[in-house]
Structure 1
Amino acid sequence: MISTSIFSSSIAWAKAAYDRGLKTAGTPFATRFMLAFAVLESIIIPIPVDPLLVAVVLAKPMKWLRMALACTLASVIGGGGGWALGAILGLGIHDILAMFPEKLAAPTAFAAVEAGFASWGLILVFIGAFSPLPYKVIAVSAGLLGFGLLPFLLVSLVGRGLRFIIVAAIARHHGDPKTVIGLLSLLIGLIVGGIWLTH
Protein backbone atom coordinates (compact mmCIF):
# COMPACT_ATOMS: atom_id res chain seq x y z
CA MET A 1 0.00 0.00 0.00
CA ILE A 2 1.39 3.36 -1.00
CA SER A 3 1.34 5.84 1.88
CA THR A 4 -1.22 8.59 1.51
CA SER A 5 1.27 10.97 3.15
CA ILE A 6 3.44 10.74 0.03
CA PHE A 7 0.55 11.87 -2.15
CA SER A 8 -0.46 14.57 0.33
CA SER A 9 3.10 15.90 0.19
CA SER A 10 3.03 15.75 -3.61
CA ILE A 11 -0.21 17.73 -3.74
CA ALA A 12 1.19 20.28 -1.29
CA TRP A 13 4.29 20.64 -3.48
CA ALA A 14 2.10 21.03 -6.59
CA LYS A 15 0.06 23.77 -4.91
CA ALA A 16 3.22 25.59 -3.84
CA ALA A 17 4.62 25.41 -7.37
CA TYR A 18 1.22 26.49 -8.69
CA ASP A 19 1.29 29.60 -6.48
CA ARG A 20 4.83 30.33 -7.66
CA GLY A 21 3.65 30.03 -11.26
CA LEU A 22 0.91 32.57 -10.61
CA LYS A 23 3.34 35.01 -8.97
CA THR A 24 5.89 34.76 -11.79
CA ALA A 25 3.39 34.89 -14.66
CA GLY A 26 5.52 37.10 -16.89
CA THR A 27 8.59 34.86 -16.82
CA PRO A 28 9.60 31.93 -19.05
CA PHE A 29 9.31 29.71 -15.97
CA ALA A 30 5.60 30.46 -15.71
CA THR A 31 4.94 29.51 -19.32
CA ARG A 32 6.90 26.27 -19.04
CA PHE A 33 5.26 25.47 -15.74
CA MET A 34 1.80 26.13 -17.20
CA LEU A 35 2.46 23.68 -20.04
CA ALA A 36 3.83 21.00 -17.70
CA PHE A 37 0.89 21.54 -15.37
CA ALA A 38 -1.56 21.26 -18.28
CA VAL A 39 -0.11 17.83 -19.11
CA LEU A 40 -0.23 16.58 -15.53
CA GLU A 41 -3.70 18.00 -14.85
CA SER A 42 -5.01 15.76 -17.63
CA ILE A 43 -3.53 12.69 -15.94
CA ILE A 44 -3.52 13.09 -12.17
CA ILE A 45 -3.43 16.61 -10.63
CA PRO A 46 -6.88 17.71 -9.34
CA ILE A 47 -6.21 21.43 -9.84
CA PRO A 48 -7.35 23.22 -13.04
CA VAL A 49 -4.75 24.91 -15.23
CA ASP A 50 -7.06 27.80 -16.19
CA PRO A 51 -5.86 30.31 -13.53
CA LEU A 52 -2.28 29.76 -14.68
CA LEU A 53 -3.33 30.41 -18.28
CA VAL A 54 -5.15 33.58 -17.21
CA ALA A 55 -2.10 34.79 -15.27
CA VAL A 56 0.24 34.16 -18.20
CA VAL A 57 -2.11 35.90 -20.64
CA LEU A 58 -2.50 38.91 -18.33
CA ALA A 59 1.30 39.14 -18.22
CA LYS A 60 1.69 38.63 -21.99
CA PRO A 61 -1.59 39.86 -23.54
CA MET A 62 -0.24 40.04 -27.10
CA LYS A 63 0.56 36.32 -26.98
CA TRP A 64 -2.86 35.23 -25.72
CA LEU A 65 -3.68 33.01 -28.70
CA ARG A 66 -0.27 31.34 -28.73
CA MET A 67 -0.55 30.64 -25.00
CA ALA A 68 -4.07 29.22 -25.41
CA LEU A 69 -3.05 26.93 -28.26
CA ALA A 70 0.09 25.77 -26.44
CA CYS A 71 -1.96 25.05 -23.32
CA THR A 72 -4.47 23.13 -25.44
CA LEU A 73 -1.80 20.97 -27.05
CA ALA A 74 -0.14 20.23 -23.69
CA SER A 75 -3.47 19.31 -22.12
CA VAL A 76 -4.43 16.98 -24.98
CA ILE A 77 -1.01 15.32 -24.81
CA GLY A 78 -1.70 14.70 -21.13
CA GLY A 79 -5.16 13.39 -22.04
CA GLY A 80 -3.50 10.94 -24.39
CA GLY A 81 -1.35 9.79 -21.49
CA GLY A 82 -4.46 9.32 -19.35
CA TRP A 83 -6.13 7.37 -22.17
CA ALA A 84 -3.04 5.14 -22.43
CA LEU A 85 -3.13 4.46 -18.68
CA GLY A 86 -6.74 3.36 -18.90
CA ALA A 87 -6.15 1.25 -22.01
CA ILE A 88 -3.02 -0.46 -20.67
CA LEU A 89 -4.09 -1.03 -17.07
CA GLY A 90 -7.72 -1.91 -17.84
CA LEU A 91 -9.81 -2.77 -14.80
CA GLY A 92 -6.60 -2.89 -12.77
CA ILE A 93 -6.78 0.90 -12.69
CA HIS A 94 -9.38 0.60 -9.93
CA ASP A 95 -6.93 -1.32 -7.73
CA ILE A 96 -4.33 1.37 -8.31
CA LEU A 97 -6.80 4.18 -7.60
CA ALA A 98 -7.70 2.50 -4.31
CA MET A 99 -4.14 3.26 -3.13
CA PHE A 100 -4.58 7.01 -3.69
CA PRO A 101 -6.29 9.50 -1.36
CA GLU A 102 -9.97 9.82 -2.29
CA LYS A 103 -9.62 13.44 -3.40
CA LEU A 104 -6.92 12.49 -5.88
CA ALA A 105 -8.41 9.20 -7.07
CA ALA A 106 -12.00 10.51 -7.35
CA PRO A 107 -13.65 7.05 -7.31
CA THR A 108 -17.17 8.52 -7.35
CA ALA A 109 -16.32 10.59 -10.41
CA PHE A 110 -14.87 7.53 -12.16
CA ALA A 111 -18.01 5.51 -11.47
CA ALA A 112 -20.26 8.30 -12.78
CA VAL A 113 -18.16 8.80 -15.91
CA GLU A 114 -18.03 5.09 -16.72
CA ALA A 115 -21.83 4.94 -16.43
CA GLY A 116 -22.21 8.10 -18.51
CA PHE A 117 -20.08 6.76 -21.36
CA ALA A 118 -22.71 4.10 -22.03
CA SER A 119 -25.26 6.71 -23.14
CA TRP A 120 -23.17 9.77 -24.01
CA GLY A 121 -20.04 8.32 -25.63
CA LEU A 122 -17.75 10.90 -27.20
CA ILE A 123 -20.16 13.70 -26.30
CA LEU A 124 -19.03 13.12 -22.73
CA VAL A 125 -15.41 13.54 -23.85
CA PHE A 126 -16.27 16.94 -25.33
CA ILE A 127 -18.18 17.99 -22.21
CA GLY A 128 -15.30 16.83 -20.01
CA ALA A 129 -12.73 18.60 -22.18
CA PHE A 130 -14.68 21.85 -22.27
CA SER A 131 -16.31 22.02 -18.85
CA PRO A 132 -15.02 21.94 -15.25
CA LEU A 133 -15.65 18.18 -15.10
CA PRO A 134 -12.42 16.32 -14.20
CA TYR A 135 -10.83 15.75 -17.61
CA LYS A 136 -8.33 13.29 -16.15
CA VAL A 137 -11.25 11.02 -15.22
CA ILE A 138 -12.68 11.32 -18.74
CA ALA A 139 -9.29 10.52 -20.32
CA VAL A 140 -8.54 7.42 -18.24
CA SER A 141 -12.12 6.15 -18.58
CA ALA A 142 -12.03 6.58 -22.38
CA GLY A 143 -8.97 4.32 -22.60
CA LEU A 144 -10.41 1.87 -20.09
CA LEU A 145 -13.69 1.53 -21.99
CA GLY A 146 -12.03 1.09 -25.38
CA PHE A 147 -12.79 4.37 -27.14
CA GLY A 148 -10.47 4.92 -30.09
CA LEU A 149 -7.43 7.08 -29.39
CA LEU A 150 -7.74 9.24 -32.51
CA PRO A 151 -11.42 10.17 -32.00
CA PHE A 152 -10.68 10.84 -28.34
CA LEU A 153 -7.77 13.14 -29.18
CA LEU A 154 -9.70 15.01 -31.88
CA VAL A 155 -12.73 15.61 -29.67
CA SER A 156 -10.43 16.60 -26.79
CA LEU A 157 -8.59 19.02 -29.07
CA VAL A 158 -11.84 20.76 -29.97
CA GLY A 159 -13.18 20.83 -26.41
CA ARG A 160 -9.94 21.89 -24.73
CA GLY A 161 -9.16 24.33 -27.53
CA LEU A 162 -12.53 26.08 -27.22
CA ARG A 163 -12.22 26.28 -23.47
CA PHE A 164 -8.70 27.67 -23.36
CA ILE A 165 -9.19 30.07 -26.28
CA ILE A 166 -12.31 31.48 -24.61
CA VAL A 167 -10.52 31.80 -21.26
CA ALA A 168 -7.47 33.44 -22.85
CA ALA A 169 -9.53 35.76 -25.06
CA ILE A 170 -11.62 37.02 -22.16
CA ALA A 171 -8.50 37.49 -20.05
CA ARG A 172 -6.85 39.37 -22.91
CA HIS A 173 -9.75 41.73 -23.47
CA HIS A 174 -11.13 42.13 -19.96
CA GLY A 175 -8.17 41.47 -17.72
CA ASP A 176 -10.31 40.18 -14.85
CA PRO A 177 -10.07 36.51 -13.76
CA LYS A 178 -13.50 36.72 -12.09
CA THR A 179 -15.03 37.81 -15.39
CA VAL A 180 -13.29 34.91 -17.12
CA ILE A 181 -14.65 32.36 -14.67
CA GLY A 182 -18.14 33.87 -14.60
CA LEU A 183 -18.60 34.05 -18.37
CA LEU A 184 -17.06 30.63 -18.90
CA SER A 185 -19.39 29.10 -16.31
CA LEU A 186 -22.38 30.72 -18.02
CA LEU A 187 -21.33 29.42 -21.42
CA ILE A 188 -20.75 25.93 -20.05
CA GLY A 189 -24.17 25.98 -18.39
CA LEU A 190 -25.84 26.95 -21.66
CA ILE A 191 -24.05 24.22 -23.65
CA VAL A 192 -24.67 21.47 -21.09
CA GLY A 193 -28.29 22.59 -20.72
CA GLY A 194 -28.78 22.48 -24.49
CA ILE A 195 -27.32 18.99 -24.72
CA TRP A 196 -29.51 17.82 -21.83
CA LEU A 197 -32.65 19.23 -23.43
CA THR A 198 -31.97 17.56 -26.77
CA HIS A 199 -30.82 14.21 -25.39
Structure 2
Amino acid sequence: MLQNVMDFLMEFGAWGLFIHSFADAVIFPIPAFFLQVSLSMMNPSTALWLATAGFIGCMLGTPLGYAIGKLLGNAVLYKLLKKEWVDKATAMFQKNGEAAILIGAFTPIPFKVFTIISGCMNFPLWRLICYAALGRAVKFYLVGLLFYLYGNAAEGMVKEVSLYIFLIAVPVLLIAIWLRRRYVKNRERKLQADQKVI
Protein backbone atom coordinates (compact mmCIF):
# COMPACT_ATOMS: atom_id res chain seq x y z
CA MET A 1 0.00 0.00 0.00
CA LEU A 2 2.81 2.42 0.90
CA GLN A 3 4.51 1.70 -2.43
CA ASN A 4 1.27 2.54 -4.22
CA VAL A 5 1.18 5.87 -2.38
CA MET A 6 4.81 6.52 -3.38
CA ASP A 7 4.05 5.70 -7.02
CA PHE A 8 1.02 7.97 -6.93
CA LEU A 9 3.01 10.88 -5.48
CA MET A 10 5.78 10.38 -8.03
CA GLU A 11 3.32 11.17 -10.83
CA PHE A 12 2.95 14.70 -9.45
CA GLY A 13 6.68 15.49 -9.47
CA ALA A 14 7.66 18.40 -7.23
CA TRP A 15 4.13 18.69 -5.84
CA GLY A 16 4.23 15.01 -4.93
CA LEU A 17 7.51 15.54 -3.09
CA PHE A 18 6.05 18.59 -1.35
CA ILE A 19 3.10 16.48 -0.11
CA HIS A 20 5.39 13.61 0.89
CA SER A 21 7.73 15.92 2.80
CA PHE A 22 4.80 17.53 4.58
CA ALA A 23 3.44 14.11 5.54
CA ASP A 24 6.93 12.91 6.55
CA ALA A 25 6.97 15.58 9.27
CA VAL A 26 3.50 14.58 10.47
CA ILE A 27 2.56 10.92 9.96
CA PHE A 28 3.94 9.19 6.82
CA PRO A 29 6.37 6.36 7.71
CA ILE A 30 8.66 6.55 4.65
CA PRO A 31 11.19 9.43 4.60
CA ALA A 32 10.83 11.90 1.72
CA PHE A 33 14.49 11.28 0.86
CA PHE A 34 13.53 8.21 -1.21
CA LEU A 35 11.03 10.08 -3.38
CA GLN A 36 13.46 12.97 -3.80
CA VAL A 37 16.16 10.62 -5.11
CA SER A 38 13.75 8.86 -7.49
CA LEU A 39 12.43 12.14 -8.92
CA SER A 40 15.92 13.64 -9.19
CA MET A 41 17.07 10.63 -11.20
CA MET A 42 14.20 11.12 -13.64
CA ASN A 43 15.19 14.73 -14.37
CA PRO A 44 18.44 15.91 -12.70
CA SER A 45 18.04 19.45 -14.10
CA THR A 46 15.09 19.98 -11.73
CA ALA A 47 16.91 18.58 -8.67
CA LEU A 48 17.33 21.94 -6.91
CA TRP A 49 13.67 22.84 -7.46
CA LEU A 50 12.72 19.44 -6.04
CA ALA A 51 14.94 20.11 -3.01
CA THR A 52 13.15 23.42 -2.47
CA ALA A 53 9.70 21.82 -2.73
CA GLY A 54 10.71 19.10 -0.28
CA PHE A 55 12.23 21.55 2.17
CA ILE A 56 9.18 23.86 2.16
CA GLY A 57 6.83 20.90 2.60
CA CYS A 58 8.83 19.67 5.58
CA MET A 59 8.91 23.10 7.21
CA LEU A 60 5.14 23.51 6.83
CA GLY A 61 4.50 20.03 8.23
CA THR A 62 6.80 20.48 11.24
CA PRO A 63 4.39 22.66 13.32
CA LEU A 64 1.55 20.21 12.65
CA GLY A 65 3.62 17.26 13.87
CA TYR A 66 4.53 19.34 16.91
CA ALA A 67 0.85 20.14 17.55
CA ILE A 68 -0.05 16.45 17.44
CA GLY A 69 2.53 15.72 20.11
CA LYS A 70 1.48 18.72 22.18
CA LEU A 71 -2.24 17.93 22.08
CA LEU A 72 -2.25 14.15 22.23
CA GLY A 73 0.90 13.61 24.29
CA ASN A 74 2.70 10.34 24.86
CA ALA A 75 -0.46 8.30 24.28
CA VAL A 76 -0.17 8.86 20.54
CA LEU A 77 3.54 8.06 20.25
CA TYR A 78 3.43 4.30 20.55
CA LYS A 79 0.28 4.06 18.43
CA LEU A 80 1.68 6.03 15.50
CA LEU A 81 5.37 5.21 15.77
CA LYS A 82 7.62 2.19 16.19
CA LYS A 83 8.69 1.64 19.79
CA GLU A 84 12.40 1.54 18.89
CA TRP A 85 12.14 4.91 17.09
CA VAL A 86 10.38 6.49 20.05
CA ASP A 87 12.85 5.08 22.58
CA LYS A 88 15.88 6.24 20.57
CA ALA A 89 14.49 9.71 19.91
CA THR A 90 13.36 10.14 23.54
CA ALA A 91 16.80 9.18 24.83
CA MET A 92 18.37 11.71 22.45
CA PHE A 93 15.95 14.44 23.57
CA GLN A 94 16.63 13.81 27.25
CA LYS A 95 20.34 14.43 26.64
CA ASN A 96 20.03 17.38 24.29
CA GLY A 97 16.94 18.43 22.34
CA GLU A 98 18.79 20.52 19.77
CA ALA A 99 21.23 17.71 19.01
CA ALA A 100 18.35 15.25 18.67
CA ILE A 101 16.67 17.40 16.02
CA LEU A 102 19.88 18.00 14.07
CA ILE A 103 20.85 14.33 14.16
CA GLY A 104 17.26 13.35 13.36
CA ALA A 105 17.44 15.43 10.19
CA PHE A 106 20.11 13.06 8.86
CA THR A 107 19.08 9.65 10.25
CA PRO A 108 16.78 7.11 8.55
CA ILE A 109 14.29 7.60 11.40
CA PRO A 110 11.26 9.42 9.91
CA PHE A 111 11.34 13.09 10.86
CA LYS A 112 7.81 12.97 12.33
CA VAL A 113 9.27 11.12 15.33
CA PHE A 114 11.19 14.26 16.27
CA THR A 115 8.39 16.73 15.55
CA ILE A 116 5.87 14.74 17.64
CA ILE A 117 8.29 14.13 20.52
CA SER A 118 9.18 17.84 20.53
CA GLY A 119 5.51 18.59 21.18
CA CYS A 120 5.20 15.88 23.84
CA MET A 121 8.21 17.22 25.71
CA ASN A 122 7.20 20.89 25.38
CA PHE A 123 10.35 21.69 23.45
CA PRO A 124 10.00 25.31 22.22
CA LEU A 125 8.41 25.34 18.76
CA TRP A 126 10.58 28.17 17.46
CA ARG A 127 13.72 26.20 18.36
CA LEU A 128 12.35 23.07 16.69
CA ILE A 129 11.69 25.05 13.50
CA CYS A 130 15.14 26.69 13.56
CA TYR A 131 17.08 23.47 14.04
CA ALA A 132 14.80 21.52 11.70
CA ALA A 133 15.32 24.17 9.01
CA LEU A 134 19.08 23.92 9.39
CA GLY A 135 19.26 20.13 9.33
CA ARG A 136 16.66 19.54 6.65
CA ALA A 137 18.05 22.24 4.37
CA VAL A 138 21.45 20.53 4.41
CA LYS A 139 19.92 17.16 3.62
CA PHE A 140 17.49 18.26 0.88
CA TYR A 141 19.90 20.61 -0.86
CA LEU A 142 22.84 18.23 -0.61
CA VAL A 143 20.90 15.62 -2.58
CA GLY A 144 19.57 18.25 -4.98
CA LEU A 145 22.98 19.76 -5.65
CA LEU A 146 24.62 16.38 -6.28
CA PHE A 147 22.00 15.40 -8.85
CA TYR A 148 22.06 18.85 -10.43
CA LEU A 149 25.84 18.73 -10.85
CA TYR A 150 26.44 15.05 -11.61
CA GLY A 151 23.13 13.79 -13.01
CA ASN A 152 22.27 10.14 -12.47
CA ALA A 153 25.88 9.44 -11.45
CA ALA A 154 24.98 11.10 -8.15
CA GLU A 155 22.86 8.12 -7.11
CA GLY A 156 25.94 6.30 -5.84
CA MET A 157 27.33 9.44 -4.21
CA VAL A 158 24.28 10.35 -2.18
CA LYS A 159 24.67 7.69 0.50
CA GLU A 160 28.41 8.27 0.88
CA VAL A 161 28.17 12.04 1.00
CA SER A 162 25.23 11.88 3.42
CA LEU A 163 27.38 9.73 5.68
CA TYR A 164 30.28 12.19 5.49
CA ILE A 165 27.97 15.12 6.21
CA PHE A 166 26.59 13.22 9.19
CA LEU A 167 30.10 12.44 10.48
CA ILE A 168 31.49 15.95 9.90
CA ALA A 169 28.69 18.53 9.87
CA VAL A 170 26.69 17.16 12.81
CA PRO A 171 29.67 17.17 15.24
CA VAL A 172 30.55 20.72 14.11
CA LEU A 173 26.97 21.86 14.75
CA LEU A 174 26.91 20.14 18.14
CA ILE A 175 30.17 21.84 19.13
CA ALA A 176 28.67 25.19 18.06
CA ILE A 177 25.61 24.52 20.25
CA TRP A 178 27.86 23.57 23.18
CA LEU A 179 30.00 26.72 22.76
CA ARG A 180 26.88 28.89 22.57
CA ARG A 181 25.49 27.35 25.77
CA ARG A 182 28.82 27.81 27.51
CA TYR A 183 28.91 31.45 26.43
CA VAL A 184 25.36 32.04 27.73
CA LYS A 185 26.16 30.38 31.08
CA ASN A 186 29.35 32.41 31.50
CA ARG A 187 27.44 35.57 30.70
CA GLU A 188 24.76 34.72 33.28
CA ARG A 189 27.43 34.03 35.92
CA LYS A 190 29.10 37.34 35.17
CA LEU A 191 25.79 39.21 35.50
CA GLN A 192 25.07 37.48 38.83
CA ALA A 193 28.56 38.34 40.10
CA ASP A 194 28.08 42.00 39.07
CA GLN A 195 24.72 42.14 40.85
CA LYS A 196 26.29 40.80 44.05
CA VAL A 197 28.99 43.44 43.88
CA ILE A 198 26.34 46.15 43.49
The interval holding the TM-score normalised by the smaller chain is: 0.7 to 0.9
Unaligned stretches of 5+ residues in structure 2 = 179-198
Distance, in Å, in 1 between the alignment partners of 2:84 and 2:169 is 24
> Is 2:58 the counterpart of 1:75?
yes
Cα shift at 1:193: 5.9
Residues 8-47 of structure 1 correspond to what in structure 2 (within 5 A)? 12=1, 14-22=2-10, 24=11, 29-47=12-30
Is 1:178 matched up with 2:156?
yes
The C-alpha deviation readout for 1:42-99, integer Å capped at 9, x for no partner, is 22222121232223334443433232122111012222211110011123324xx33x
SS at match of 2:27: coil
CA contact (8 A) 2:27 2:112 kept: yes
Aligned residue type for 2:49: R
- Residue type at the aligned position of 2:62: G
Counterpart of 2:117 in structure 1 is: 141
Unaligned stretches of 5+ in structure 1?
1-11
Q: Which deviates the most, 165-174 or 52-61?
A: 52-61
Q: Is the 8 A contact 1:68 1:164 kept in 2?
A: yes
Paired positions, count: 175
Instruction: Compute the TM-score of the two structures, normalised by the length of structure 1.
Output: 0.76
Q: Counterpart in 1 of 2:86? A: 110
**1:163 counterpart residue number:** 139
Quote how far apart the aligned CAs of 1:195 are: 7.2
Does the aligned pair in 2 maintain the 1:71–1:164 contact within 8 Å?
A: yes
Task: Sort the Cα spacing of 1:181 and 1:19 in 2 relative to 1 into closer, same or farther, 3 A.
Answer: farther
- Once residues 39 and 81 of structure 1 are traced to their aligned partners in structure 2, the CA distance between those partners, rounded to angstroms, is 9
Name the larger-Rg structure: 2
User: Is structure 2 residue 165 aligned with structure 1 residue 187?
Assistant: yes
Equivalent residue for 1:6? none
Computed over aligned residues only, the root mean square deviation of the Cα atoms, in angstroms, reads 2.4
Q: How far apart in 2 are the matches of 1:74 and 1:126? A: 18
TM-score after normalising by structure 2: 0.77
